[in-house]
Amino acid sequence: MKKKLAAAFLSFSIVLTLGAGSAFADSKMDKVIDGAIGTKYVSGGTSTNGFDCSGFTMYVFDKMGIDLPHQSGSQFKMGDAVSRSDLRAGDLVFFNTTGKGVSHVGVYVGSGKFAHASSSKGVTVTSLNDSYYVSRFVGAKRVMGSSAYQSVAVDSEDNDDVQ
């Protein structure tokens, strides 16, 4: 019962976190990320049994048909650089958490937030303005082309033609 309650709370909090302001609520990417929220952190993990940060992004993008390597520094070498002010849902965001260069990665979800596998919290959604991450932000990369972005990261249409 406790697990079901916790899962329901997590789903509800994701709806609140990603919901109305999300750049891709109801999208394929949103559903993949939502399904992983709460998964524990496991060093080297690449599945819903446990993720590390690059394993999480690798998993999310694999579900979108995009292959990423399993290392944040290698992922940082991919795609096109994007300024923080031009971020869109699905961009990868990178951080220096060790003092030795890129060491953490997440997926930007819109509204100034990113989904990532935190070593202390597991898969979660955090503000880019969080005091821990704001000063450790290294940059962002866009690895999805426009057509891929349209197919996986944009809200699905409602088709509510009720007059």
Q: Which two tokens stand for residue 61?
A: 């993008």
Set 72, 104, 105, 124: catalytic member:
104
Set 53, 60, 66, 143: catalytic member:
53
> Are residues 136 and 72 in contact, defined by beta-carbon separation less than 8 angstroms?
no
Look up 70 and say whether it is catalytic.
no
Q: Which two tokens stand for residue 64?
A: 């979108």
Determine how many CB atoms are found less than 10 A away from the CB of residue 34. 19
Q: How many CA atoms lie within 13 A of 34 on its CB side?
A: 20
Set 45, 102, 116, 125: catalytic member:
116
Look up 71 and say whether it is catalytic.
no
Catalytic residues: 53, 104, 116
